[in-house]
Amino acid sequence: MTRFDELYWEMLRRIMEKGVRDMNARTKHETTALPGLHFSLDIEKDGFPLLTLRKIPIKMFVAEQIWFISGARRPADFLRDFTKIWDSFTNPADVVTVAYGYRWRKHFGRDQLGALVRLLKKDPSSRHGVVVTWDPGEDGLGGTRRANVPCPYSFTANIIGGRLHLHNIVRSNDMVLGFPADVAGFALLQCILAQKLGVVPGVYSHSISNAHVYDNQLDAVNELLKRGNDHAPIRLALPKNTFDRAEKKDKKLVDEIVGPLAAQYQPLPAITGMHIVL
């Protein structure tokens, strides 16, 4: 297995063996959950963290991340041409009010992502490279009710030893459907930022406050825990000027990123019949 497959397999095993079963009042589903799960993976050494224990749609997380970088919040603006993953979270005006990229670039009255790039270009030793998605004036704590609040709610980017490292902080992760896409998407963001800054990607870290499996996913998890393969590490090759082209919502960019990944990707079969819990 790839290093990421090994890490993922071990996290699922821990949840199934040591997780606590509780009924979630909002979703009306039972979860098996553990607090404080964390992993780190060196992208330069171990390869890009794309799950191969089951097939996942590469185009989905690539298009999603480009949409985030652009700062858009309407799926009709670029994203829906590739995936409908955010359609369940739109309001009557077809707007995702908590779209991550919009929060990174516009919501708080400053362009956090743009400022991050400028900061690390000017001072690669800075430890202030924090980007926040969570709005304490609106999100959580029994506040404004909406279809979605950010799960990955903050990340920190640091250049150490000439490599860009990214630490993603996640309040809640569906380990079967959400986690693999979140990891691949934010690792892609790390690689795009590294290219923009003229450095190589280093360690991707992912910390989860509540890592859980839903009751309707138990058969899928049992199947995943039976699986293993000898897939080679996956290497990401980005087109030139990926960050700048993503800002412009260049539709050709999706296939230019997906193509080299798909050429290396030989996953085990998809697991069908899984449904996301909203």
Q: What's the pTM value of the predicted model, to 2 decimals?
A: 0.97
Residue 274: what pLDDT?
A: 80
Would you state the torsion angle of the CA atoms of residues 14, 148, 51, 48, taken in this order, to the nearest 10 degrees? -110
Per-residue pLDDT of the chain (278 residues; tens, 9 = 90+): 999 999 999 999 999 999 999 998 888 999 999 999 999 999 999 999 999 999 999 999 999 999 999 999 999 999 999 999 999 999 999 999 999 999 999 999 999 999 999 999 999 999 999 999 999 999 999 877 776 899 999 999 999 999 999 999 999 999 999 999 999 999 999 999 999 999 999 999 999 999 999 999 999 999 999 999 999 999 999 999 999 999 999 999 999 999 999 999 999 999 988 878 87
Q: How far apart are CA 53 and CA 124, in angstroms?
A: 37
Give, rounded to a whole angstrom, the gap between the first and last alpha carbons of the chain. Answer: 31
Of 176, 229, 155, which is closest to residue 29 (Cα–Cα)?
176
Residue 213: what pLDDT?
A: 97
Residue 123: what pLDDT?
A: 98
Residue 272: what pLDDT?
A: 87
Residue 207: what pLDDT?
A: 98
Q: Which of 72, 85, 151, 157 is catalytic?
A: 151
Burial of 26 (0-12, 13-18, 19+ CB in 10 A): exposed
Would you state the torsion angle of the CA atoms of residues 256, 258, 263, 265, taken in this order, to the nearest 10 degrees? 160
Residue 275: what pLDDT?
A: 78
Residue 191 is a catalytic residue: no
Q: How far apart are CA 91 and CA 89, in angstroms?
A: 7
Domains along the chain? 3-20+30-264 (3.30.572.10)
Residue 145: what pLDDT?
A: 73
